[in-house]
Structure 1
Amino acid sequence: MVKLAAKCLLAGDPAVGKSALAQMFRNDGAHFQKNYTLTTGIELLVKAVSIPETSDSVEFFIFDSAGKDLFSEMLEKLWEQPNVLCLVYDVTNEQSFNNCAKWLEKLRAQAVGRHIPGVLVGNKTDLVGRQVVEQKQAEQWAEKHGLAYCEMSVKEMKNFEAPFHILAKSFHQLYKEKVETFHSLA
């Protein structure tokens, strides 16, 4: 049984649902909080995810960060050495999707020369008829940037665990590859 620890950076524009996603995940979908105050700075949440078909798990230290540039200097310090990335946008807000490039650039600047597993998450799919970012467009963008992709509705409690399960499996796979490389050298 292996228990891994991973620093997970949760990033994206203000009001895309980062805090709602983190809270819902940590509380196993216990309830959707209708009112959130905008995160100022960073909130840290911790939760373990079991890896299917193994006895291993990944304990995530999730850094839920403010989406405002005002906090960017503080974020850069706290964002050092990430292990996994979770980039969130609002499917009804094209600007939040377009800004993912800026967020990804900032995140990757903290991990130059290292492969960091990541997932692009389209939130607010419950707002049927208001979706302006097409799933295919987001999937293609994610693939082009080496990210996994999923859509969800935190409000409807649909698929909110998916990003973390994707990240846990990716991080665990990287760990296994490093162990195999180490054993091949011995």
Structure 2
Amino acid sequence: MVKLSAKCLVAGDSTVGKSTLIQLFRSDGSHFPKNYSMTTVMDIITKTLPIPDTGDSVELFLCDSPGKAMFYEMTEVSWDQPGALCLVFDVTSETSFSNCARWLQRVKSKTTSLYLPGVLVGNKTDLTGRRVVEKIQAEEWAASHGLEYFETSAKELENFDQPFRALAKSFYRLYQERVESFNSLL
């Protein structure tokens, strides 16, 4: 039985729903924050996920990062050596989607790993009439950067846990590949 730990950076512009997704995930969907308060320091939430059919688990340390640039400078030091990445944007905001490239570049500058498991999350899909970023556009961008793509609606409790479960599986798969590679050298 193996229990792995992964520091997962959750990044994106302010008001895209990063904190809400994390809170929903931590509470298994039982707690939707009614009042919004801007994240000003990095908040770390921990949750352990079992890896199906293995008996093993991955403990995710979800680092909820502030989206405003003025707070980013203060928390950037905590970003060193992430094990996984969750980029979040608002499907009703072209700017938040465009800024994902900048967030991705910032995170990649903090790791020495050749491969960083990651997901791109389009949040607020319940706002269908205000949507400006199409699913196919986001899927293509994610694929071109080696990320899995998920769409969520924190408000409607839709798919809020899927990105994090995928990250845990990807991190575990990477661990298994490294173990196999090491064993082949023996």
- TM tier relative to shorter chain: over 0.9
* Deviates further, 167-176 or 104-113: 104-113
Counterpart Cα distance in 2 of 1:81 and 1:113: 8
Counterpart Cα distance in 2 of 1:73 and 1:126: 32
Which residue pairs with 1:168 in the alignment? 168
Q: Structure 1 stretches (4+) deviating beyond 6 angstroms?
A: none
Which residue pairs with 1:49 in the alignment? 49
Write out per-residue CA displacement over residues 62-102 of structure 1, whole angstroms, 9 at most, x where no aligned residue: 10010011122222210000000000000001100000000
Which residue pairs with 1:63 in the alignment? 63
Which residue pairs with 1:17 in the alignment? 17
Equivalent residues in 2 for 1:99-178, closer than 5 Å: 99-178=99-178
Q: Which amino acid aligns with 1:92?
A: T
Counterpart Cα distance in 1 of 2:113 and 2:47: 27
Contact 2:86 2:120 in 1 (8 A): yes
Write out per-residue CA displacement over residues 166-185 of structure 1, whole angstroms, 9 at most, x where no aligned residue: 10110000000011011111
Which residue pairs with 1:179 in the alignment? 179
Following superposition, the deviation at residue 114 of structure 1 comes to: 2.5
Counterpart Cα distance in 1 of 2:66 and 2:27: 20
Q: What number of residue pairs does the alignment pair up?
A: 186
Work out the percentage of aligned pairs sharing the same amino acid: 59
Following superposition, the deviation at residue 113 of structure 1 comes to: 4.5
Distance 1:155 1:146, change over 3 A: same
What TM-score, normalized by structure 1, do the two folds share? Answer: 0.98
Write out per-residue CA displacement over residues 10-39 of structure 1, whole angstroms, 9 at most, x where no aligned residue: 000000000000100001111211212000
What TM-score, normalized by structure 2, do the two folds share? Answer: 0.98
Q: Could you list the runs of 5+ residues in structure 2 that have no partner in the other structure?
A: none
Q: Could you list the runs of 5+ residues in structure 1 that have no partner in the other structure?
A: none
Which residue pairs with 2:88 in the alignment? 88
Counterpart Cα distance in 2 of 1:168 and 1:8: 9
Write out per-residue CA displacement over residues 33-74 of structure 1, whole angstroms, 9 at most, x where no aligned residue: 121200001111000111112111100111001001112222
